[in-house]
Structure 1
């Protein structure tokens, strides 16, 4: 089959990269298109995924509108030449609209309830929408639920084994205590109205965690001068290795707390929007994720976890139970895509 995969965010690059490899091993003809946002293209490059950038992230409502109009036109031109049997994407209006225009089915992988207008301009054009079973809403397109998380497409043990050697190559000792902090730009459509961690809370977090080991900070934007010494020293393709060996993760990201949790790393999520999302509830119910709307509570919880010598053992035990009844999501992506394309 001829598969067109649209990747517009770093998390989507990880979600689909193993599936792209499996499609190609099957002998399928695959075309990947990308977007220059954060480290999206760097992730694809680091993992050897050939791709064609179609647009660059713009700021402001007018900039976003221009970018997506341009992206949709470029994607339509490329897709007409390629002639896909199926289009695979995350929640992406350009992919859905182009697939509909060409009469090709669009398989959408979706896990964010707080997606608002993006749902309304994308889902009516999709043929199948696949979500984790914990997704709390019913959707207008054919809705398929599976027992898993997007992050298990690339962090399931069948897909990922942490590499201590790559950390040592970049000056991180995996046998020494350390914590990972993630700060996001809070400019995505689902982050509207949020400011993320305040500078004061970040300082308290770094100082408190630093009493128990090294602290590595990763950020969507440039770190302020007073935090530059804490910048994570590993390349983008080693970030999951860094997470896997960490004593604690804390941040205001949506993706990285789930990554930490499914890796068995004690995880704290600061959620300033108080977003009711099924994935986070499912992990909290399994005691794999602490989620709070209070930044001071997030700081205190993270510091308590790094001070607790038994926390890592508890999380690893809970992770084993989680993996026992959840699927390899890449295998599901490939199977569902093939099923839809063959109709």
Structure 2
């Protein structure tokens, strides 16, 4: 079997890592394409995966349309020659369009119901859609998805990230971090370049939080791109962490995570580290899953976030258990099922 996996965002590298390895170990031929965006290429090289770089990310709406169109064209030519039996992606805009056009069965992993434009462009074309049961089915159906093609599971996509995770308790030392205070907070800025969030990449909701908490704890910041790195440069007691690094061990070693995004917050929650989400948009259903299960706190008020952070730094609670399904097996089984269905006429 020949499987095409398209990777369009940095967290997707970790998401697909064990899936890729498993398929290769089973003797399947895995073709990986990736666009140029954030740390995708560096992470792919870090994990030792061979891939073909096709296309890049656009910033403005016009650029997004242009770059996606160009990428779909290049992918169409590439995939037409490779002739895979099935395509697999997580929120790739182009893979469903290319597989649909070439009659190739597709499996699509979804966890963001707020990415309405992207969902309208992709979900109506997908053969198999895998999504958390916490997402309202109607939110997905109204973008054109066929409910008969949807598989739902308990949990969120981040549960698959820790399939073979080994904690490195010496991560601070390995990164040669000079930490002067007893407590350490890891922060992640908002996804300013995402189409579903109206934000300025030269500003961050974390700035006023950093300005206060830097006097109480070591602050580590993992920016998404160069502009965010510049926002926090020059602050005392603030360290910029440049990926790729072992972020899982880093999150687990830290006393608190404050994130204006989504994926890293949910990963930290699963690792048992206290998390405060200050995402500036409407919370996703997958975030509400962790909030309602007591694994994540949520606020966009600076004073409330600061007070909450100071309280959590001195009263860390034990991790709660949550029941989840085996997402890894669901995806693997869906890939084989889609491939067995044969080319679409």
Indicate the residue corresponding to 1:24 in structure 2: 24
Q: 8 Å contact 1:292–1:298 — kept in the other structure?
A: yes
Q: Does 1:254 align with 2:267?
A: no
Local SS of the residue matching 1:226: coil
Indicate the residue corresponding to 1:177 in structure 2: 183
For 1:119 and 1:57, how far apart are their aligned partners in 2? Answer: 17
TM-score by length of 2: 0.88
Q: 8 Å contact 1:148–1:328 — kept in the other structure?
A: no
Q: Alignment partner for residue 299 of structure 1, among 306, 309, 314?
A: 306
Q: 8 Å contact 1:54–1:74 — kept in the other structure?
A: yes
Select the structure that is richer in helix. 1
State the Cα RMSD in Å. 2.3
Distance 1:228 1:66, change over 3 A: farther
Distance 1:228 1:14, change over 3 A: farther
Gaps of at least 5 residues in structure 2 are none
Stretch of structure 1 that moved more, 56-65 or 4-13? 56-65
Indicate the residue corresponding to 2:324 in structure 1: 326
- Equivalenced residue count is 329
Q: Does 1:342 align with 2:340?
A: yes
Indicate the residue corresponding to 1:289 in structure 2: 296
TM-score by length of 1: 0.88
Query: 1:296 deviation in Å?
Result: 3.5
Cα deviation digits, residues 264-309 of structure 1 (max 9, x gap):
110001132233x221111111110111233432333223212x2x
For 2:31 and 2:194, how far apart are their aligned partners in 1? Answer: 26
Query: 1:25 deviation in Å?
Result: 0.4
Indicate the residue corresponding to 1:125 in structure 2: 125
Cα deviation digits, residues 189-236 of structure 1 (max 9, x gap):
111x3459966x644423443344321011123233333862344642
Q: 8 Å contact 1:46–1:237 — kept in the other structure?
A: no
Local SS of the residue matching 1:134: coil
Indicate the residue corresponding to 1:243 in structure 2: 251
For 1:23 and 1:228, how far apart are their aligned partners in 2? Answer: 46
For 1:108 and 1:207, how far apart are their aligned partners in 2? Answer: 41
For 2:53 and 2:237, how far apart are their aligned partners in 1? Answer: 32
Q: Does 1:263 align with 2:268?
A: no
